[in-house]
């Protein structure tokens, strides 16, 4: 199959399958800002805390640093798809609630253009919105007397990022890359007020926010040999996007229905990520990442300084018992990770989250194709004990097909 035939087919497939990426989560705090931010990890890195800036290998699509696209197999094409199922537990005082969720997480592919020069494209989540909760209100001594009502808040949607990138080795151990990205999606928020007091019309307010903007990533990685069978990989990536105009469609239903369409200014944050990983004999990998997203410098809904910087630290490890396995368990890759997020929201308050992850990589047909399992458990930390607390448990399945595609048989 030629590259010219492969690219249009791949693009059509990705744009079609983006409708299956159910942008839904279970967090009451996703009603603020762009929603709950996602780490675009694929393959083994999903169980390694989502690291990616200082790691590369032929069987991995590392969206966070396009310099990693240089590590490709000239005869094989890598196809990666991930599914996730999440269970979220909520607690407010003595009240508990449990919500399940499942969705197609990401899809991507990577292939060689020439030796030491690769290309990748795919679709990954940027943020997710999903919540449903109610509050009861009782106001006395109003101008119209006592007033009782219930307000229900619901939200859905999120943003996806389509990426098309390339990376190449300039010299042995030094690679650079570039990612063209397009982030788009719909953020939907609905507020319904039902009055218990007679004589009042119920109210409904529906707000749809349509966003779309291009951005650019630049990345670099360098392998520093330490011994005959070990090396360090140092990596860094930076991204920026242009200001854009988002469309806001609002419907207010009370005694009458009022529909309005307005526009507001937005910018996605400048992002800087650095990472380092240690590789021993291609059996042990330990990596550390730091990422800063400068939301404090962005404009959201036409307002500047409404968000704070988002900072993330991630640590990951992978262990392979043997490069030459006599038994299947020796070919299984064992993984673990940790990540901590200092979140970007100012309202409703300073939020932080932390999670631990464990995973396995089960080889298929040798050790090129891989079935990856990961389990992540995390918790959201709020600035006040009266806030809704959240704990989540996420199980993911990721399939990485790394198969022979470009070999032409001779008769």
CATH number at residue 337: 2.40.160.60
Q: Does residue 411 lie within any of the structural domains?
A: no
Structural domain harbouring 183: 3-404
Confidence band (pLDDT; 50, 70, 90) for 14?
A: very low
Could you identify the residue written with the tokens 């968000």? 307
SS3 content of the chain, % helix, strand, coil (to 5): 10, 65, 25
Q: Does residue 82 lie within any of the structural domains?
A: yes
Maximum Cα–Cα distance across the chain:
92
Q: Give me the DSSP letters along 99-160.
A: EEEEEEEEEEEEEEEETTEEEEEEEEEEEEEEEEEEEEEEEEEETTEEEEEEEEEEEEEEEE
End-to-end distance of the chain based on CA atoms, in angstroms? Answer: 17
Q: Does residue 324 lie within any of the structural domains?
A: yes
Question: How much is the pTM?
Answer: 0.88
CB 46 within 8 Å of CB 372: yes
Between CA 119 and CA 123 the distance in angstroms is 14
User: Across-strand partners of 83?
Assistant: 104, 397
Q: Does residue 296 lie within any of the structural domains?
A: yes
- Closest to 335 measured CA to CA, from 21, 64, 55, 39: 55
258-315: per-residue pLDDT in tens?
889 999 999 999 999 999 999 999 999 999 999 999 999 999 999 988 999 999 999 9
User: Across-strand partners of 122?
Assistant: 108, 163
Say whether pLDDT at 15 is over 80.
Answer: no
Between CA 120 and CA 183 the distance in angstroms is 16
Query: Residue 4: its pLDDT value, please?
Result: 46
- Number of other CB atoms surrounding residue 261 within 10 Å: 10
CB 91 within 8 Å of CB 6: no
Between CA 312 and CA 343 the distance in angstroms is 8
User: Across-strand partners of 96?
Assistant: 91
Could you identify the residue written with the tokens 């744009």? 15
Q: Does residue 380 lie within any of the structural domains?
A: yes
Q: Does residue 410 lie within any of the structural domains?
A: no
112 contact partners, CB below 8 Å, separation of at least 6: 72, 73, 74, 75, 76, 118, 119, 406
Domain count, the chain: 1
- Number of other CB atoms surrounding residue 387 within 10 Å: 16
Q: Does residue 409 lie within any of the structural domains?
A: no
CB 219 within 8 Å of CB 274: no
214-247: per-residue pLDDT in tens?
999 999 999 999 999 999 999 999 999 988 999 9
Q: Does residue 395 lie within any of the structural domains?
A: yes
CB 135 within 8 Å of CB 36: no
Polymer length of the chain: 411
Say whether pLDDT at 19 is over 60.
Answer: no
């Amino acid at each position: 199959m030629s590259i010219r035939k492969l690219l249009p087919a791949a693009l059509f497939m990705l744009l079609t399958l983006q409708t299956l990426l159910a942008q839904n989560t279970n967090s009451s705090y996703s009603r603020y800002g762009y929603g709950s931010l996602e780490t675009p990890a694929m393959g083994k890195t999903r169980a390694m805390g989502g690291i990616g800036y200082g790691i590369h290998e032929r069987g991995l699509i590392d969206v966070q640093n396009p310099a990693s696209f240089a590590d490709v197999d000239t005869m094989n094409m890598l196809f990666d798809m991930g599914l996730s199922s999440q269970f979220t537990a909520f607690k407010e005082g003595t009240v508990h609630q449990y919500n399940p969720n499942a969705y197609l997480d990401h899809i991507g592919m990577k292939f060689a253009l020439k030796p030491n020069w690769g290309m990748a494209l795919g679709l990954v989540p940027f943020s997710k919105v999903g919540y449903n909760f109610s509050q009861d209100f009782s106001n006395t001594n109003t101008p119209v007397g006592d007033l009782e009502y219930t307000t229900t808040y619901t939200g859905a949607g999120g943003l996806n990022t389509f990426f098309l990138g390339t990376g190449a080795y300039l010299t042995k151990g030094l690679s650079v890359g570039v990612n063209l990205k397009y982030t788009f999606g719909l953020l939907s928020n609905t507020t319904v007020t039902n009055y218990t007091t007679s004589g009042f019309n119920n109210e409904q307010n529906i707000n749809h926010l349509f966003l779309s903007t291009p951005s650019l990533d630049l990345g670099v990685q360098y392998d520093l040999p330490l011994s005959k069978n070990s090396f360090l990989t140092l990596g860094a990536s930076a991204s920026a996007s242009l200001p854009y105009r988002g469309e806001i469609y609002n419907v207010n239903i009370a005694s009458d229905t009022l529909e309005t369409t307005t526009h507001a200014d937005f910018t996605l944050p400048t992002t800087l990520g650095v990472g380092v990983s240690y590789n021993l004999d291609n059996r042990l990998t330990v990596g550390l990442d730091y990422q800063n997203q400068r939301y404090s410098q962005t404009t959201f809904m036409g307002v500047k300084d409404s968000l704070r910087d988002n900072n993330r630290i991630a640590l990951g490890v992978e262990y392979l018992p043997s490069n030459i396995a006599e038994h299947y368990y020796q070919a299984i890759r064992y993984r673990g990770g940790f990540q901590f997020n200092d979140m970007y929201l100012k309202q409703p308050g300073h939020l932080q989250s932390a999670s631990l992850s464990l995973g396995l990589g089960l080889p298929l047909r040798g050790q090129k194709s891989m079935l990856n399992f990961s389990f992540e458990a995390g918790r959201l930390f709020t600035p006040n004990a009266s806030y809704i607390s959240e704990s989540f448990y996420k199980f993911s399945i990721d399939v990485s097909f790394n198969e022979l595609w470009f070999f032409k048989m001779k008769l």
